[in-house]
Amino acid sequence: MPSLLNLFLKPKCPLCDRSTAKIICIDCDRQISACKSPIFRQNREEINLFAWGVYDSSLKQAIATYKFKNHPELAQPLGIKIAEAWNQDAVAQTLIKQSPNIKVVPIPMHPEKLKSRGFNQAELLAKYFCQYTELAIAPKILQRVKNTKPQIETKSKQEREDNLNSAFTVGNQFRNKSISVILFDDIYTTGATIKEAIATLKSVNIQAIAVVVLATPKFEIQSQIQRSPFYA
Ligand SMILES: [Zn+2]
């Protein structure tokens, strides 16, 4: 007979509401795993991008639940997925060997936005990613000084560029210290935010040698596959 106590103690999967032993239930985890990208490492307009999954279906839903329905606990299983792909990628491992003091820098959130959401989704994912890759996280290197609107709400290319212009700054103590970093975000779409962050870092001699994200839209991946001789 189910007791009242059990009813309260059994955790529920935030994605399907069924009871689960882990944070995400087996079914939802399987569906999210099906969104794993066939290629983890991609070259995107000179950006060395590592993207775990395709921003679609179950993964898109999981990210929305994580960010907008206040489920920060999803950062752990999602962050671990990215870390597992990273740990298995030969190029990623070479990169780390070449830059042993590299720091992982999550894309920062403006303090006002952080106040309303309660957590920075990129930073929390990066925290678990770093735990499982044993990389150092440095969330204070890059700061967001402008409360930008979501890029999706901008109407023209000019407005998109203006929106992000001078959005970031680097703390004085980190400037011109020859630091190499890995930028970390939840989603890579147009790349505008990442490019602005890279430019800001570069202006104070900090080199972003890689970008790691949880997801990127499918059309981008398809064009990569078409360009790659391995998928011809
Ligand atoms: Zn579930």
Report pLDDT digits (tens) over 195-213.
Answer: 999 999 999 999 999 999 9
DSSP annotation of 59 reads H
| Mean per-residue pLDDT, 11-17 | 95
Q: What is the pLDDT of residues 63-106, one digit of tens each?
A: 999 999 999 999 999 999 999 999 999 999 999 999 989 999 99
Instruction: State in Å: Cα 33 to ligand 1 middle.
Output: 13
Task: Find the 200 Cα to ligand 1 centroid distance in Å.
Answer: 40
Range 147-186 burial, b when 16+ CB lie within 10 A, else e: ebeeeeebeeeeebeebbeebbbbeeebeeeebbbbbbbb
Helix (H) or strand (E) holding 124: helix 121-133
Give the pLDDT score at 44: 80
Q: What pLDDT does residue 87 have?
A: 97
Residue 182, helix vs strand vs coil: strand
Q: If pLDDT is split at 50, 70 and 90, which confidence band does 224 have? A: low
The pLDDT tens digits of the residues spanning 113-139 come to 999 999 999 999 999 999 999 999 999
C-alpha 5 – ligand 1 centre gap (Å):
21
Whole-number Å distance, alpha carbon 71 to ligand 1 midpoint, is: 13
Per-residue model confidence (pLDDT) at position 154 = 79
- The per-residue pLDDT for 149 is 76
**Residue 85 in tokens:** 């792909």
pLDDT recorded at residue 8? 60
Residue 20, pLDDT > 80, answer yes
Q: Which residues surround ligand 1, an ion (CB under 5 A)?
A: 13, 15-16, 25, 28
**Per-residue model confidence (pLDDT) at position 143:** 95
Determine the distance separating the centroid of ligand 1 and the alpha carbon of 24, expressed in angstroms.
6
Query: Which two three-digit tokens encode residue 170?
Result: 């680097």
Provide the pLDDT for residue 225. Answer: 53
Is the pLDDT reported for residue 146 higher than 90?
no
Q: Tell me, what's the pLDDT at 6? A: 55
User: 36-40, 177-181, 195-199, 225-229 — which is least confidently predicted?
Assistant: 225-229
Give all domains of the chain, ordered by start, each with its CATH number.
44-149+167-231 (3.40.50)
How does the average pLDDT of the chain come out, rounded? 89
Residue 18 CA, ligand 1 centroid: distance in Å? 6
